[in-house]
Amino acid sequence: MTQEHEDPKFDQWLKDATAKSYHSPLPTPREEMWKRIEAARQNKRVIELRPWLRWALAAAAVLVLGIGIGRWSANQGSVPTAPTASGNRVANEIDSLANVAYQVAATQYLSRTEAFLTSFRADNRSVNTARLARQARNLLTTTQLMLDSPAADNPRLRSLLEDLELVLMQISLLNPVQDGHDRDLITQGMNQSNVLPKLRSAIPAGPVQVRTEGAL
Amino acid sequence: MDESQLIARVRAGDSAAERALYDAHVDRVYRLAFRLAGDDALAQDFTQETFIRAFDRLGSFRDAAFSTWLHTITTTVVLNGLRKVKRFRQREADIDDAHDIGVAQRHAEPDLKARLKQAIDALPEGYRTVFLMHDVEGYTHEEIGVVLGVETGTSKAQLSRARAKLRVALADFAGEWVQ
């Protein structure tokens, strides 16, 4: 099907010009990427719940549910006949809502941190330092809250949060006068410690709202 | 060893086979990621993410061409990643330095390279993706259709519209292609 705007000379010129000058790829950094892929996959295997951990979590959930039912029953005190099925349902729903809210908040925090660090590494020089430092401070506060939360009981997640705390602290302390060298050092540190691949492997697949202010 | 045997070995947990599969495909994946992202760090991130997902999901791969399946993951990872970065940058720019954006636009140079970049970046996402995949990276319309989940005819139509828009945007350089 020939359309009126078709022009083989233009098409060929456009192909050549684009191939030559638009986002021309560099040589593939095979080894660097492979090392990060291996590290991320290794990390992911460890963070994923192992069978014994699933059983431990299930036991903890039953315990929490038991406590919830106990408290609910105690509060009923003088009420002559407490509907047990309804009590179970209420306690269960509260527990499950808290769990979902916690997971959503944690996932949003990790996604937002990932977007921030990806952007920091890609932009490097073009974003102003004061803004970067302010964003890093906001995320740093959340990171420290996460470190004090049950999330930090998982040793791998704790290690990731500690890496993030260090990177965010460095960015929050960037000096606007001589930040070029400091930014390079932070980027090098991030690459060496594989922070971004580890962070990505800790984020569950699927769409996530990126904004987190007020979520935690 | 052919690719299906290699895939079977990866599924069986053979790490040497994983590396061989990576070596066989990484160049094309990285090239596509770089063309779409225009940034080495992002292209590396997207390439890594593509292979991590591919190895994790290899169990669900069935009977199609592995390369096409892998490039479907690549385009999903790259386009979602670019949208995420764009949203993040846009929100931050909206918040505190709309002034800087105005300044940056005024400094755009009218040379071919800059104008070409500006014109391609201004294309709708679908047109831009099809144009770069077909005209620059050499994918066929059939491959693009499978990878992007659209009809072959849609891919052809989007390429045609992309070229038409670029021709208008680059009309100042008509002398170059007429020669």
Residue range of the domain that includes B127: 109-171
CB contacts, 8 Å: A25 with chain B: 30-31, 34-35, 43
Residue B176 lies in a domain: no
Tell me the C-alpha distance between B42 and B35, whole Å: 11
Please say whether the beta carbons of A179 and A129 come within 8 A. yes
When mean pLDDT is compared across A50-54, A70-74, A108-112, A164-168, the lowest value belongs to A50-54
Closest of B24, B26, B30, B25 to residue B42, by C-alpha: B30
Question: Residue A102, Cα to own-chain centre: how many angstroms?
Answer: 13
B176 vs B130: which has the higher pLDDT: B130
**Where is mean pLDDT largest: A146-155, A177-186, B50-59?**
B50-59
Residue B178 lies in a domain: no
Indicate whether B17 and B79 sit together in one domain: yes
Indicate whether B32 and B103 sit together in one domain: yes
**Where is mean pLDDT largest: A86-95, A137-146, B138-147?**
B138-147
Sequence-distant (6+) residues with CB within 8 A of B4 are none
- Looking up tokens 């399946």 gives B69
Residue A5 lies in a domain: no
Residue B37 lies in a domain: yes
Task: Check residue A192 and give its pLDDT.
Answer: 80
Candidate from B88, B135, B166 with C-beta closest to A119: B88
Indicate whether B93 and B167 sit together in one domain: no
Residue A70 lies in a domain: yes
Residues A189-204: b if buried by 16+ CB within 10 A, e if exposed = ebbebbbbbbbbbbbe
Indicate whether B101 and B114 sit together in one domain: no
Phi-psi region of B99 (alpha: psi -120 to 50; beta: other; left: phi over 0): alpha
Please say whether the beta carbons of B174 and B149 come within 8 A. no
Strands (E), chain B: none
Indicate whether B66 and B40 sit together in one domain: yes
Indicate whether B39 and B98 sit together in one domain: yes
* pLDDT tens digit sequence for B102-148: 434 434 445 888 999 999 999 999 999 999 999 999 999 999 999 99
B contact test, residue of A5, A6, A23, A36 with most B CBs within 10 A: A23
Half-sphere exposure (CA, 13 Å, Cβ side) for A136? 23
Question: How far from each other are the two terminal CA atoms of chain A, in whole angstroms?
Answer: 57
Tell me the C-alpha distance between A100 and A63, whole Å: 18
CB contacts, 8 Å: B38 with chain A: 22-23
Residue range of the domain that includes A71: 53-202
Indicate whether B16 and B93 sit together in one domain: yes
Indicate whether B165 and B87 sit together in one domain: no
Indicate whether B81 and B41 sit together in one domain: yes
Residue B179 lies in a domain: no
Looking at this protein, which amino acid is placed at residue A161?
L
pTM: 0.61
Residue A44 lies in a domain: no
Task: Check residue A81 and give its pLDDT.
Answer: 47
Residue B177 lies in a domain: no
pLDDT band with cut points at 50, 70 and 90 for residue B99: very low
Task: Check residue B93 and give its pLDDT.
Answer: 64
CATH classification at residue B16? 1.10.1740.10
Residue A33 lies in a domain: no
Indicate whether B115 and B74 sit together in one domain: no
When mean pLDDT is compared across A56-60, A103-107, A118-122, A173-177, the lowest value belongs to A56-60
State yes or no: pLDDT of B9 exceeds 80.
Answer: yes
State yes or no: pLDDT of A194 exceeds 90.
Answer: no
Structure tokens at B30: 């990285």
Tell me the C-alpha distance between B48 and B26, whole Å: 9
A204 vs A130: which has the higher pLDDT: A130
Task: Check residue A174 and give its pLDDT.
Answer: 79
Residue A216 lies in a domain: no
Domain count, chain B: 2
State yes or no: pLDDT of A208 exceeds 80.
Answer: no
Indicate whether B9 and B97 sit together in one domain: yes
Residue A209 lies in a domain: no
Tell me the C-alpha distance between B56 and A198, whole Å: 15
CATH classification at residue B121? 1.10.10.10
* pLDDT tens digit sequence for A8-56: 889 999 999 999 999 999 999 999 999 999 988 887 665 554 555 555 5
Residue B73 lies in a domain: yes
CB contacts, 8 Å: A127 with chain B: 92
Q: A122–B42: do the CB atoms touch at under 8 Å? A: yes
* pLDDT tens digit sequence for B15-32: 999 999 999 999 999 999
Q: Which residue of A has its CA nearest to B115?
A: A22
Task: Tell the burial category of B110 from Cβ atoms under 10 Å away from its Cβ (0-12, 13-18, 19+).
Answer: exposed
- Model ipTM? 0.84
Tell me the C-alpha distance between A135 and A140, whole Å: 9
Picking from B107, B125, B149, the residue at the C-terminal end of a domain is B107
A184 lies within 8 A of chain B by CB:
no
- 3 state DSSP class of B162: helix
Compute the mean pLDDT over every residue in chain B, rounded to the nearest whole number. Answer: 87
Domain count, chain A: 1
CB contacts, 8 Å: A32 with chain B: 44
Indicate whether B102 and B121 sit together in one domain: no
Task: Check residue A98 and give its pLDDT.
Answer: 61
A contact test, residue of B73, B131, B163 with most A CBs within 10 A: B163
